[in-house]
Amino acid sequence: MEPDSGSPGGASLPASETGAESSLRRTEVIQSSSVQGAGWLSSPLWNPRSKARKAKLGGETSRDGVWLDDHSDFTSAYFSRRASVISDPQSEMTPRFLQSMGNLEIISHKNRCDSQVSYEHHDPLMMAPHHRTSVPLTPYLSAPEKTDCFSCLSVSPCPPICLCSNKLPIAPYIQPTVDLKSSSCGLGEGCPWMIGLLGGGLRWMGSVAELCHGALNHAGELLAAEGGALSLVRKVYSGGSDLEEVIALTATGCSQAHQELLQGVMELVLATGSPINLRDAQKDPRFKVDSKQCLKISTVLSVPIKNHRREVFGVVVMINKRKGCDSHSAFTTMDEKVLSSHMDVLGMVLENIQLYESSRQEAKRSQALIEMAQVLSREHFSFEVLLSKMAATIMPFTHAQYCTVFIPSDQTSVTKDQIIFSCVIHLECEELGSTCQIYRREHDIRDIDLSHACQTMMAMETLNMAKSTVESERSIICCPVRNERSENVIAVCQLMNKRTRDSEDLEPFNRYDERLLEDLAVYCGLALQYAQAVQITEVRRASIEVTEEILAYHLTAAQEDINALQEATIPSAESLNILDFYFSDFGLPEDATTQATIRMFLDLNLVQDFNIDYKSLCQWVLTVRRGYRSNVPYHNWSHALSTAQSMFAMLMATDQLQNIFSRLEILALMIATLNHDIDHRGVSNSYIERSQQPLSQLYGHSSLENHHYNLCIFILNNTGSQILSSLSVEDHRAVLHMIKRAILATNLNIYMQRRGEFFSLAEKSRVNWRSEKQRDLLRSMLMTASDLSAITKPWPDQKRIANLVAMEFFAQGDKEREEFKIKPIDIMDRENSTRLPYMQVEYIDEICFPLYKAISKLFDSCSPLMNACKKNRKNWLHLAEGTWGEKLEDNFSLHLETGISVEEDTKRGAEQMGKEQDT
């Protein structure tokens, strides 16, 4: 029974390994087929009575095929037996065509596999993908000693998946273009070369070149051709493709003209994807042939090698079909079909090999990338060591003997062709059996060839010397290292001397090596930028340390001032009037302000409870005072003292607050109130952000408050001012956290966000102050109440403070109008100075009074703050309405900075009130 092309016995059915090696014994072939063939035939696609098989095979089955499906045991044994029909190496498989070309040494499959290295230690597909071969066509190919073979790779219904492909490979079923019943192989039911190849012949293939050689030998035998050549498609950088010669023309006596003719034929086949059959090559008008030089080529047959997607994978050409001893006949249509069917099988196998090799290469490339990333992630004290380790990572993968990284100097000018390399990192790889040792060699730059590196820097693209006419330069490849931001070339990576596995011969670097080198270039670029960033960071860190040292020197109080405060007798709280909510520092001597601060810490027992060194406390207070700018009208040391005194008065007015807060919390509140506006510049956060000052870039939000806190920490850590040095690590961390929260709470935006929760809390009859969340909210509200306490001062002090605030705000408004060309907001617009009383009333109603009212509900002892706020609101309202005539003289002080008379101010206020009432 002879199965047809659609039956399991056709070329589309992968069978067991056949007699590809003539010296194989029949028993050896059967044992091999029992392993390989059984796995193929028992696959899901060949499951008996499978309904899906018809769709998989793309056609209906014959009755013979159905019978074979129902008798799978017979089918497996039958095809295993048919796969070993060739056992005599001196049979009719050696025609005159091949004998005339000369035979090579015959090596048995067993001997071949005995000399190979195991899969784990040697990759058969990682050798050069295509080695040009120029050996006469022979029925059997001998392999060099220790040749690689495909003993670990066999074709299966599920071929290896390429990791870099987005398409899954399909099962290798080929629909042959020739009926195997009348196959030209002359071997009855099927071509043994096809069956052996599909059934497991990949095990003895040493390389792609050897596989192609066997296919060309077999095709030449079938077509009785005098010679042939085979080329595979290679992708080029431009995105196109060209042909890379794998098997050169093997016919004797062929010249360069013959090569050019066949090259033109193969390129046309590649472009059209269709076979070409030249019955008289010298008369075909498509090819320019010198009849005198190409007399030895009369007939040409060339067909494409396609993959399963019918894409051209390569091109094979056969010349001069033998008719007799000295005559040639044209290739027939049947020859074309036979050659095409064989090339279809070869294309499918080559595609699987390529997919498998690509997946292995991608896996190794991924491994190299991971290793380089790990090297980059580690801390290195020298960028030269970093680059050396990354370069050493890819050398074993590319089999390069040398790897060099060229780093140009800062004076290098590529445009003027003046390239000077300041540093050269040179590595050498020495192979020691299955391992390799990489050394870093110290070389003088003058002893290293810089020409290729310079050429790469000028061209700014990868340079592969594979096609160089100079033999010694063909194994050199260079790649530029770019700066990701500027795209400038900042270095050059170079690989030299790619060695073959089994000899000392050098070979060109392929596309896989280029990709690895380009990956190295990317990581080298990151490493160089990282090294530069580290260097810049270290310089800036040193600069910051110098600046901090200068700041600490100028910020720290003079030693005589510290001694004077330390030796001074601190007045009582009563004499300083710091227990009174109506305290004012106006007219208070400067020395008395620092003494008042010391008294607060003493009366709150903070010095005793936290074992604060008294001299350190004096130096700290004086240093904080020096941290405030004296040229700022309002946010200065006077405001800091007033804020701290308000907090102190609330804490001392009743035991309730001191019972709620821990001693650590009270310490944090007092430190925060004194530092909450330190180094204030007299402008708001919005102005700092709009003018893009360094503070805004440093903190992003709440710039001033964050700056106040950081300067507070700087002073606390300054030598001689470390008042928290006796705290434990946990208490130190906790108090710093509370200080930061308290200072940030003075931002009115944060106050507006949180006050609703606090007002709701004040409405409750009982509050659980054991909750940290509730106490944090209370600390924040008390900070704001202390910060705004100027609105609760006696009326003369309140008017004076309001004038100072207006001066500061109007100065910022003038800057905004001049620098940003915008109209300032009302409270900062000098043109609205006459509306100051109205704005004060709105400020009290919207910001101040609700807060003091809530605090008074929770703590009755703080009600004087609310009452004073109400009185000042009434006074401001009288001024706004102009009904307080006897106090107009006092109003004059509010407008000294504006140059507006009191009468005009009163008139404008009345007009504005009338407009608002009409509205």
Which sequence positions are flagged as catalytic? 635
Structure tokens, 108: 């048995």
Pair 859, 654: CB distance under 8 Å? yes
As a whole number of angstroms, the distance between CA 493 and CA 752 comes to 59
Burial of 787 (0-12, 13-18, 19+ CB in 10 A): buried
CA distances for 839 relative to 397, 834, 896, angstroms: 76, 10, 18
Block residue for tokens 């090259």: 263
CB pairs under 8 A, 24+ apart, for 588-592? 591/564, 591/565
Contact partners, residue 62, CB within 8 Å, separation at least 6: 3, 4, 6, 7
As a whole number of angstroms, the distance between CA 796 and CA 14 comes to 106
Pair 666, 604: CB distance under 8 Å? yes
Three-point CA angle 907, 908, 912, nearest 5°: 120
Task: Give the DSSP H or E segment for 95.
Answer: none
Any idea of the CA torsion for 676, 681, 682, 683, to the nearest 10 degrees?
Answer: -100
Cα–Cα nearest to 251, from 337, 112, 158, 134: 134
Q: Which amino acid is it at 127?
A: M
Pair 32, 200: CB distance under 8 Å? yes
Structure tokens, 189: 């039911």
As a whole number of angstroms, the distance between CA 705 and CA 696 comes to 11
Please count the residues of the chain.
919
Structure tokens, 630: 């004296």
Q: How many CA atoms lie within 13 A of 645 on its CB side?
A: 28
As a whole number of angstroms, the distance between CA 375 and CA 387 comes to 9
As a whole number of angstroms, the distance between CA 563 and CA 566 comes to 5
CA distances for 61 relative to 58, 68, 222, 417, 835, angstroms: 10, 10, 29, 72, 100
- DSSP letter at 172 equals -
Q: Which amino acid is it at 62?
A: S
Cα–Cα nearest to 200, from 266, 109, 133: 109
CA distances for 290 relative to 277, 294, 301, 330, 580, angstroms: 19, 6, 19, 20, 118
Structure tokens, 656: 């309730």
Cα–Cα nearest to 40, from 99, 83, 3: 83
Cα–Cα nearest to 582, from 659, 526, 645, 520: 645
Structure tokens, 281: 């090559």
Three-point CA angle 375, 376, 378, nearest 5°: 70
Q: State phi, psi for 534 to the nearest 5 degrees.
A: -65, -40
Pair 22, 106: CB distance under 8 Å? yes
Which DSSP string do the residues of 301-324 spell out, in sequence order? Answer: EEEEEE-TT--EEEEEEEEEEE-S
Q: Is 685 helix (H, G, I), strand (E, B) or coil?
A: helix
Q: State phi, psi for 670 to the nearest 5 degrees.
A: -70, -40
Contact partners, residue 190, CB within 8 Å, separation at least 6: 9, 10, 11, 15, 82, 180, 183
Structure tokens, 498: 């790619």
